[in-house]
Amino acid sequence: MLLKLDISPEICRLFPSIKIGCILADVQVNPSNAQILTEMEAIIEEMSSRVSPDTIREMPVVASARNAYRRMGQDPNRYRPAAESLLRRIASGKGLYHVNNMVDILNLVSVQTGFSIGGYDADKIEGRIVFGIGFDNEPYEGIGRGVLNITKLPVFRDDRGAFGTSTSDSVRTMVTGSTMRFLMVFPAFYAMDNELNRALALAVDLLERLGDVKKPEYWIV
C-alpha cells in the first residue's frame, strides 16, 4: 500500500519543478552482511581518491540541495545536506558508518548519487506526509544529534509533526531491528529527472541484490 505524500504550497512556490522520489519496501533489518560491507568498502576506496570538499560542493545534486537550503533561508555550511556530510566523511578518510543493512544501502545510494535520502520506519509514520519548511522552535530530535534546530530546513511531517529532514533523520521514525516497512524519500528541488530516475533505479537494484527485498514499490510525487 502506497503512503500518501504531498508537497506543501510554500515549497512549490520556491521550487516549481520539485519532485520527490519514493520507495516503499517490506524488509528484514539485520546487521549488514559481508556482501554489503564489501560493496561499501569498494565504493569508499573508489571515491576517496577523487572527492574533496570542493568537488563535493560542485556535484550537481549536492549543489542543488545547497542552493535550495539558501533559498529557504538556511546556511548549508551550518546544516549540511546529509549526502554532503557522508561524502565529506569519505573525503576525510573516515569512511561510512555501519548501521544496519537498510541504512547502509541507503548511504551507498546517497554517496553515489548525491541525493540526501530520508530513510524511515513507515509504520511509525502517522497519517499523511507533507513536505514543507521547518518552523521556529519546532520540536525535533535528530539521530545522534539530540534536539536539532530545523528552522528553514526542508522537513517531512505527518499528523504528529516533523519526522525527517534532508540534514538528519529523526529518532521517532528511525529504522531499527523491528522495522518491517522501509520508506526512502529522495527530494529533488530542481528539474533533475534523469538523476532522480537513476537514483531510484540504483536504490531498487541494491535493495533487491543486497537487501533481499522482493519487488519494492517506487513512485515519484
Confidence of residue 144 (pLDDT cuts 50, 70, 90): confident
Q: Is the pLDDT score of 173 beyond 80?
A: yes
Q: How far is CA 149 from each of CA 7, 70, 134, rounded to the nearest angstrom?
A: 21, 16, 9
User: pTM of the prediction?
Assistant: 0.94
Least-confidence region, from 101-110, 118-127, 144-153: 144-153
DSSP annotation of 47 reads: H
pLDDT higher than 60, residue 40? yes
To the nearest whole percent, how much of the chain has pLDDT over 70?
99
Helix axes of 60-72 and 82-91: crossing angle, nearest 10 degrees: 130
For 18-33, what is the HEC assignment?
CEEEEEEEECCCCCCC
Confidence (pLDDT) at 146 = 85
Mean pLDDT to the nearest integer, 145-161: 93
CATH number belonging to domain 5-220: 3.50.40.10
C-alpha cell at 118: 530520508
What is the tens place of the pLDDT at every residue in 193-217?
Answer: 999 999 999 999 999 999 999 999 9
Q: Which three cell numbers stand for residue 24?
A: 516503499
Grade residue 94 by pLDDT with cuts at 50, 70 and 90. very high
List the end-to-end C-alpha distance of the chain, in Å, as a whole number: 15
Comparing CA positions, the residue from 191, 132, 121, 179 lying closest to residue 156 is 132
Measured CA angle at 104 (ends 116, 33), to 5 deg = 165
Question: Taking the CB of residue 52, how many other CB atoms lie within 10 A of it?
Answer: 13
Is the pLDDT confidence value at 2 over 70?
no
Instruction: In whole angstroms, give the CA distance from residue 149 to residue 152.
Output: 9
